[in-house]
Structure 1
Amino acid sequence: MRKHSLIAVAVTLFSAGCTLQPHYERPAAPVAATFPSSGVYATQPTASGAASAHGQAAADIGWREFFADPRLQRIIEIALANNRDLRVAVLNVDQARAQYRIARAELFPAIDAKGGKSVTRTPKDFSQFGQTISEQYTVGLEASWELDFWGRVRSLKDQALEQYLSTAQARKAAEIALVSQVADQYLQMLSVDDLLKVTEDTLKTAQSSYDITKLKFDNGTGSELDVRQAETVLEAARANQQAQARARAQAENALVLLIGEPLPADLPTGRPLDDQGLLTDIPAGLPSDLLTRRPDIMEAEASLLAANANIGAARAAFLPKITLTGSGGTTSLTLDGLFKPGSATWNFAPQITLPIFEGGQNLANLDLAHVQKNIGIAKYEKAIQSAFREVADGLAARSTYDEQIAALERNTFAQQRTLDLSQLRYQNGVDSYLQVLTAQTNLYSAQQLLIDARAARLANLVDLYTALGGGWLQHTGETPRPADAPVDYQAAQATVPASASKAAPAKAASAS
């Protein structure tokens, strides 16, 4: 009865215990209240045709709605199922969850069943009745429990929880980044394909020009200078073709690494580079929105909260540590007497430990905890600043690419007309062949610049979509998954998206 009373008192004291964690206040965002909107940012594109975000935030737009290319959609789906870095991120969440459960278990009493036998030899001169060998059998339960008056164990539990949540956000950030990386690499492949096509057309034209000038030279009506000038264009195009073929193979290898398996032969037919149909009018919102849209920012804040909780544990280390230990069971000199009346035994041993001299260890641990929190604050603020910069850069690029591409298209048209007119003037004997070669080289350069700008514009739209927090949802309108809940995209694809692409149940519930 006395033991139960002591336990009840301990539970009351424990429930009334305090915590020494500092009060957490979210650091102010070290960025402007709004994104830039004047000058280079002033002209943002509107929806093109039926492709419109309809005012929805990027985080609410599914990647299947953002990417209209069915081939790209299938490749992203494969990557989300097979990418090894993403698998590691998922396993890191499982690891952090287990570490949190270990820390949480320290809040509860540890109870062990114990049975044993001891054999003791006593010198004959000290033994009774001449019996030098004695045996003792014990069976019972042992329990120990630290009374967390100062919140040390709870602070360590909170630290482990925040580290787990930080790891979960890192896993979410890894998935969003993977979607962006796959899309960027796919668009890079398409741009190289277009460059190869332009180079192939240039090669045909250059080969034809070279054959004509060579024929004239062989017949004595042309000069060797015309032949060599035609040859320079031809060989330059051949060199570019080899470089582009190499870039195409390497781009595909990079994509294969991202998706975690060779490109399947049964992929859907894709769209050309200039008809990807990406959403161009996603609203930027406010910088404060990034705090809830960007998992990397939430990851940094969770790490900061973990460092804040660790200060509570470091402070509690200066105060007394109270532990209750006890055991109860039966003891007998013979095995068959363990459970006979009168064999019961119990022991209750509360213990208090007060640190007096630790060589400065506790003070150093507290200083370390404060430094780690300051580091966490700096990382959190840097995450916000980096996110702000990425969005601002994306908005500046989105505002200028359309006009740049329109100018490059006009330039390409002008270069094509220049080549046509130069060929006509050369055929009529007005200009030298050098004018034709110059026009041909300029047209080739203009075509490459146009393709590069189109690819860069699409990459900018993809990067801005992810910078604003998009890429976590598969379909617009579905319930967002918790950060620690991966989803089987291959299984989800076999169902109706509107009803069956719901989020996986939150594993976080099992850790709370």
Structure 2
Amino acid sequence: MSRRTIMIALLLPLGACSMVPAYVRPAPPIPTTLPTTREEAALPSLNYRDIFRDERLQKVIEQALANNRDLRVAAANIAAARAQYRIVAAAELPSVGGSITATESDSGTGRTNVGGSPVSGGARTNYAINATVSAFEIDLFGRVRALSEAQQDRYFATEAGAHAIRLTLIGDIATSWLKYAADNSLLQIAQDTADNAMRSVALTKARLDGGIAPRTDLAQAQTVLATAQSDLAVQQTALAQDSNALTLLVGARFDPALLPESIAIAGPTVAELPAGLDSGILLRRPDVVQAEYQLRAANAQVGAARAALFPRLSLTTVAGLASNGLSRLFTANAFNYSAAPSISYPIFSGGVGKAAVRQARAQFDAAVATYEKTIQTAFREVADALARRATIGAQASAQMQLVAASSDNFRLSDARYRGGIDSFLQSLDAQRSLYSARRSLVATQLTSATNLVTLYRTLGGDALIETDAKGPVPVGAPSENPATSE
């Protein structure tokens, strides 16, 4: 073995050297517990079926997970990121090529020597089989490895992002489904009001014809009827738009029988989530995990930039067999080998290398800030949802009492008007108050139900994942992995 070959063999183990800074997860810039007055509880392993208990909603979600185009885009992005990682990681291994050649040459048949005697010659064929390693970089300072790590973390970030998209999709479907329920309730209220208004128009017209009611009563009754009919048309439009929104989220047409009839029935099917949770749970939200993988990628990129300041050693080798006869091609004498190591070092580049290191460090600092802001945003989202949860129950109870009182008031006012005791204006005011109270109750019931959806989404639901060096790891109950496997 030649001295040069021995030197190259001794240099190969140095590829384990790394210039990547040791990664330390930044401390979360939030309180250790979420704001609540309840005792702390551990978040159970949740599946969306545990929270959204109506089987109709579950079926809509199942269809969406199979057909939604955003999930398909996310799966394609994961596949692309995985392929890009493998392209970058391939630089850590030598690229080996092979060739088989047959070369014919003519030594000059028909030539004669000085004495006039013919010179022996003719066509000759040379055969060669070669394997070539072209410009393989021996990763002395870990530059190639750092680039591979950075790309791997970007791939993992894409995978975590797919978990976030899935979680958001489930929340959006639940919210849209509940909104349809609320609009269906508002449609029924508008229909009830229109029916009452039609009866009022008939009554006031009869009283006007009998000479016991002024024409203004009929005009006011007709105004209420026109308003109710207008609201009826608005709610019919809203229902159609809600159905269209759900169809887009699902990614395919679904059975209308899966739609809810009212918010009063659909709202209570959404289960409560535990409060008093450790804020550390937010570190397992998929968007936070995605931001951390992007931070890890930026950290590895710093190592790649630092390693680029040092010399690069590359090696080109050719080994093969060559002979002018096939019978001798596979003999020991036919073997040939050559190695051409080269070292490159930027003597003058105008400070590009150091500037690249500063740029990588600045991008790392930006990634740290992005990671911390993502955690802070997650904390605020949960805190806001918990704050609303603390008061929505009292608001709903008061609203129900208001509806009951308004209903009694309208019933009594209508009876007194029919009995000729009160004017139509008092009955009309009572009817408007009841209409407003019923609509407000629907809005409150919708807020209460969608608040639970928000808590499911902001706490991570069944999309909680851990940051691991081998990729995102689901926490708790198994969750449908949005990544596609090969």
Fold conserved between structures, TM > 0.5: yes
Whole-angstrom distance in 1 between the partners of 2:478 and 2:485: 17
Q: Which residue of 2 aligns with 1:205?
A: 196
Whole-angstrom distance in 2 between the partners of 1:455 and 1:265: 20
For structure 2, list consecutive stretches of 5 or more residues without a partner in the other structure: 114-118, 465-470
Which AA in structure 2 matches 1:11? Answer: L
Which AA in structure 1 matches 2:34? Answer: F
Q: Which residue of 1 aligns with 2:248?
A: 257
Q: Which residue of 2 aligns with 1:498?
A: none
Structure 2 counterpart SS, 1:88: helix
1:83 to 68, 91, 95: 68
Q: CA deviation at 1:9?
A: 1.7
Whole-angstrom distance in 2 between the partners of 1:179 and 1:311: 37
- Cα distance change of structure 1 residues 427 and 507 upon mapping to structure 2, 3 Å threshold: closer
Which AA in structure 2 matches 1:97? Answer: R
- Cα distance change of structure 1 residues 505 and 213 upon mapping to structure 2, 3 Å threshold: closer
Q: Which residue of 1 aligns with 2:160?
A: 169
Q: CA deviation at 1:160?
A: 1.0
Q: Which residue of 1 aligns with 2:385?
A: 394
Q: Does 1:141 align with 2:141?
A: no
Which AA in structure 2 matches 1:57? Answer: L
8 Å CA contact retained: 1:141, 1:329: yes
Structure 2 counterpart SS, 1:176: helix
- Cα distance change of structure 1 residues 9 and 509 upon mapping to structure 2, 3 Å threshold: farther
Q: Which residue of 1 aligns with 2:92?
A: 107
Q: Which residue of 1 aligns with 2:431?
A: 440
Q: Which residue of 1 aligns with 2:282?
A: 290
Whole-angstrom distance in 2 between the partners of 1:178 and 1:483: 19
Matches within 5 A, 1:10-25: 10-14=11-15, 17-25=16-24
Structure 1 counterpart SS, 2:463: coil
Matches within 5 A, 1:145-294: 145-264=136-255, 267=258, 272-275=262-265, 276-292=268-284, 294=285
Instruction: Write out per-residue CA displacement over residues 474-510 of structure 1, whole angstroms, 9 at most, x where no aligned residue.
Output: xxxxxxxx8589xxxxxxxxxxxxxxx9667997999
- Cα distance change of structure 1 residues 381 and 179 upon mapping to structure 2, 3 Å threshold: same
Q: CA deviation at 1:141?
A: 0.4
8 Å CA contact retained: 1:282, 1:465: no
Q: Does 1:470 align with 2:461?
A: yes
Q: Which residue of 1 aligns with 2:467?
A: none
Q: Does 1:428 align with 2:419?
A: yes
Whole-angstrom distance in 2 between the partners of 1:266 and 1:413: 31
- Cα distance change of structure 1 residues 173 and 284 upon mapping to structure 2, 3 Å threshold: farther
Which AA in structure 2 matches 1:84? Answer: R
8 Å CA contact retained: 1:57, 1:284: no
Q: Give the root-mean-square deviation of aligned CA atoms.
A: 3.1
Q: CA deviation at 1:219?
A: 3.8
How many positions carry a matched residue from both structures? 466
1:312 to 289, 293, 303: 303
- Cα distance change of structure 1 residues 119 and 251 upon mapping to structure 2, 3 Å threshold: farther
Q: CA deviation at 1:255?
A: 0.4
Which AA in structure 1 matches 2:68? Answer: N
Q: CA deviation at 1:336?
A: 7.2
Whole-angstrom distance in 1 between the partners of 2:396 and 2:460: 27
Instruction: Write out per-residue CA displacement over residues 166-190 of structure 1, whole angstroms, 9 at most, x where no aligned residue.
Output: 1111011111111111100000011
Whole-angstrom distance in 1 between the partners of 2:211 and 2:314: 108
Q: Which residue of 2 aligns with 1:51?
A: none
Structure 1 counterpart SS, 2:23: coil
TM-score (norm 1): 0.83
8 Å CA contact retained: 2:71, 2:482: no
Which AA in structure 2 matches 1:9? Answer: L
Whole-angstrom distance in 1 between the partners of 2:165 and 2:176: 16
Q: Which residue of 1 aligns with 2:443?
A: 452
Q: Give the fraction of aligned pairs with identical amino acids, expressed as a percent.
A: 36
TM-score (norm 2): 0.87
Structure 2 counterpart SS, 1:115: strand
- Cα distance change of structure 1 residues 106 and 508 upon mapping to structure 2, 3 Å threshold: farther
Q: Which residue of 2 aligns with 1:96?
A: 81
- Cα distance change of structure 1 residues 392 and 93 upon mapping to structure 2, 3 Å threshold: same
- Cα distance change of structure 1 residues 504 and 347 upon mapping to structure 2, 3 Å threshold: farther
Structure 2 counterpart SS, 1:318: coil
For structure 1, list consecutive stretches of 5 or more residues without a partner in the other structure: 47-53, 474-481, 486-500
Whole-angstrom distance in 1 between the partners of 2:347 and 2:123: 44
Which AA in structure 1 matches 2:14? Answer: L
Whole-angstrom distance in 1 between the partners of 2:366 and 2:104: 57
Which AA in structure 2 matches 1:312? Answer: G
- Cα distance change of structure 1 residues 367 and 132 upon mapping to structure 2, 3 Å threshold: farther
Instruction: Write out per-residue CA displacement over residues 367-409 of structure 1, whole angstroms, 9 at most, x where no aligned residue.
Output: 2211211111111011101100110011011111110000111
Which AA in structure 2 matches 1:234? Answer: L
Whole-angstrom distance in 2 between the partners of 1:463 and 1:398: 10
Whole-angstrom distance in 2 between the partners of 1:504 and 1:62: 10
Whole-angstrom distance in 2 between the partners of 1:220 and 1:110: 103
